[in-house]
Structure 1
């Protein structure tokens, strides 16, 4: 089952990456355990795929340094890369190739549009598939799959946790929120998220005063922001990429609109949001997957090791790929076998809880659909030019600033 692999080189051709990304040469020895890593390692989203791969790489390095898989005589994990190029059809082909190469499991594939069909192929081939990052509900929900396991939260939980935060923060401040306005770009990302926000607002008793969509290249937001100012909601929930996120904030300052912004990751979590706005970015909020300042044992240490190894800060995607690799390790230790069916059963029974889990909730485990039911988002607030964790309280680095002060008082 285990064969020697030839060296593979992928080019990172995304905008802003002028140099090629070269995967290290890794041969699979007879006693090694090959693990499929399915990510976009070339093409426009290669920088994100490469970053996700780093989480797997760090975890595997640490597992092997700690004696490998002890129940298998210290066998070492070896990554076998499959490059989706960000293309679903290529991803499907790569799953077949990885299965033929004898991988015990596959982890990937970052994009929901690639993860959905590649998990279908993996299911057909009987290869366990762990999804660390892709969030679409449809990856696990309603499919009846047995070989797919999802560590990341569901997409609908982004909206749920935005609403939960608004209620918690406003209640703690002594003035429970009653209303929100939704503002989102008009592609599938924005419209589908808004649908989730509307459903969550209804569930938790908040009134949606307006659901406003706009073209992502809209050059002027004056009339839209003026409308929001007139409605005067308790919070503004946004789904925006970087350019429109910056534009809306600038316009809110110009029109003196003093309403908390809660973004949906994307533009509001992009470092360029802070570099473009400077101090005006402060007090903006956004949901996110993870942060280096989480008040949880082990987080700072893992983040430090990651940055020392790769020269860049660890982010939420890398934290999720790191922990997904630890899930695989736990399952291999549990079953003491590389048989895919036995490993599938072991993953289904795996729980990583407490200090062993650096993600912002207690346990990684899997329900009947393959989804990890405790997975949740955190909320970050930009304070002094840096994203800082402010919710939920049990992992927050500090309390949120709520309500936000007037622009003139900042």
Structure 2
């Protein structure tokens, strides 16, 4: 063989080797970009940061083999034959207009396949509208406004129970303890942040309470991030409702509780939607002052230990990032990524229409959900979403309703401030 021919053969072999190696490298480097859109600054920054950490934990489990974890996709490496998830983070600042513009940026400039967010319902509403307009998937873990799934969107999927669901549960519970514990709850009041979340929660709560025959004697809205709630709490105190429904997030919840202590007033029962009450950090900050308050809860370490055995090992990965356990909000965001990844893996394609249809038509195993399953109904609402009412006792969330989860009777009426140790 001539030198020229030998050189050509060598070059051909080298090119073939490079092509093979290049293909292998491409296969190994297949990625799908998922946006996370949460309040990383502003009044709800701590909650938003924990939600991001939860999504990061889910991505870590999905991208790497974790055969010791008893959750879907943990035993394999990646999805769709090795595709890895890369998270692109964005900050809503807790502001609806910022959430909208950041959603547009994530889809248009960052090229994300889907977005998970936004914690605040007021931010989730415009951000998910961007996704719907662009025919992109939006996974919502914990935003609870019932209005979000009343829009009949095709590409929106929400994991958590709604404020409408919790309002019905709260009211049913008050009816139950009136019978079983002679609680004497006849009048109710509402205190809520003046946002999409707060207004819808209060509206749903008032509708449920009115239908059950309770008299509404106080309707108090406040600006989130307030530095003083004295006038709002004074209004509640003057009306003196037997029970108060609160829609207070983060530091606003802490301020509400401390303002009631400052005025030496408590209703017979106080029950809160969503985080604030659910947040173990806030519970620790309040200490004994937080005792005997109640709220809807989809997860607590106590609930997880008894009903969600698979959570503990995953939570170890999460606590390395946060030093605190999951709360009811953050764990829903982890579930959002697990369900989306399962849908992509099952559909065996990134075609949005096919993945969205797979999400809508499948009942998913979800060991990190209290009900153990996820199934989306009209408007993208998870019809398997489960919540229990708990009461805080010494930093422990004790389930009190419904009966199948109850471990104790709630202390009602609440012990007055001046009689607490």
The counterpart of 2:120, out of the listed 82, 93, 111, is: 111
The counterpart of 1:81, out of the listed 89, 102, 111, is: 89
Is the contact between residue 36 and residue 98 of structure 1 (CA under 8 Å) also seen in structure 2? yes
Moved more, 213-222 or 371-380: 213-222
Instruction: Tell me how far apart the structure 2 counterparts of residues 64 and 393 of structure 1 sit (CA, whole Å).
Output: 39
The counterpart of 2:295, out of the listed 277, 280, 286, is: 286
Q: By how many angstroms is 1:140 displaced?
A: 2.2
Moved more, 303-312 or 319-328: 303-312
Give the aligned partner of residue 367 of structure 1. Answer: 377
Which secondary structure state, in structure 2, belongs to the residue aligned with residue 369 of structure 1?
helix
Contiguous gaps of at least 5 residues in structure 1: 1-26
Give the aligned partner of residue 392 of structure 2. Answer: 382
Q: By how many angstroms is 1:218 displaced?
A: 4.3
Instruction: Tell me how far apart the structure 1 counterparts of residues 102 and 282 of structure 2 sit (CA, whole Å).
Output: 35
Give the aligned partner of residue 139 of structure 1. Answer: 148
Give the aligned partner of residue 340 of structure 1. Answer: 352
Moved more, 41-50 or 149-158: 41-50
Contiguous gaps of at least 5 residues in structure 2: 1-25, 66-75
TM-score by length of 2: 0.76
Give the aligned partner of residue 46 of structure 2. Answer: 47
TM-score by length of 1: 0.78
Is the contact between residue 84 and residue 91 of structure 1 (CA under 8 Å) also seen in structure 2? yes
Q: By how many angstroms is 1:159 displaced?
A: 2.0
Give the aligned partner of residue 21 of structure 2. Answer: none
1:11-410, aligned counterparts within 5 Å?
Answer: 30-66=29-65, 67-70=76-79, 72-100=80-108, 101-141=110-150, 143-173=151-181, 175=182, 179-185=186-192, 187-188=194-195, 191-203=199-211, 205-208=212-215, 210-213=217-220, 217-219=228-230, 221=233, 224-225=236-237, 227-228=239-240, 233=242, 235-240=243-248, 241=252, 242-249=254-261, 251=263, 254=264, 259-265=268-274, 267-269=276-278, 278-294=287-303, 295-297=306-308, 298-353=310-365, 356-396=366-406, 398-404=407-413, 407=416, 408=419
Runs of 4+ in 1 over 6 A off after TM superposition: none
Is the contact between residue 218 and residue 239 of structure 2 (CA under 8 Å) also seen in structure 1? no
Q: By how many angstroms is 1:190 displaced?
A: 5.1
Instruction: Tell me how far apart the structure 1 counterparts of residues 115 and 322 of structure 2 sit (CA, whole Å).
Output: 23
Which secondary structure state, in structure 2, belongs to the residue aligned with residue 293 of structure 1?
helix
Give the aligned partner of residue 19 of structure 2. Answer: none
Instruction: Tell me how far apart the structure 2 counterparts of residues 393 and 82 of structure 1 sit (CA, whole Å).
Output: 41
Q: By how many angstroms is 1:44 displaced?
A: 4.8
Is the contact between residue 194 and residue 221 of structure 2 (CA under 8 Å) also seen in structure 1? no
Query: Structure 1 pair 91/29, CA: closer, same or farther in 2 (3 Å)?
Result: farther
Instruction: Tell me how far apart the structure 1 counterparts of residues 193 and 88 of structure 2 sit (CA, whole Å).
Output: 38
Is the contact between residue 365 and residue 372 of structure 1 (CA under 8 Å) also seen in structure 2? yes
Is the contact between residue 229 and residue 259 of structure 2 (CA under 8 Å) also seen in structure 1? no
Q: Deviations over 1:198-242 (max 9, x none)?
A: 211233x232252343767343656853642xx7x4x44344532
Q: By how many angstroms is 1:322 displaced?
A: 0.7
Q: By how many angstroms is 1:149 displaced?
A: 1.0
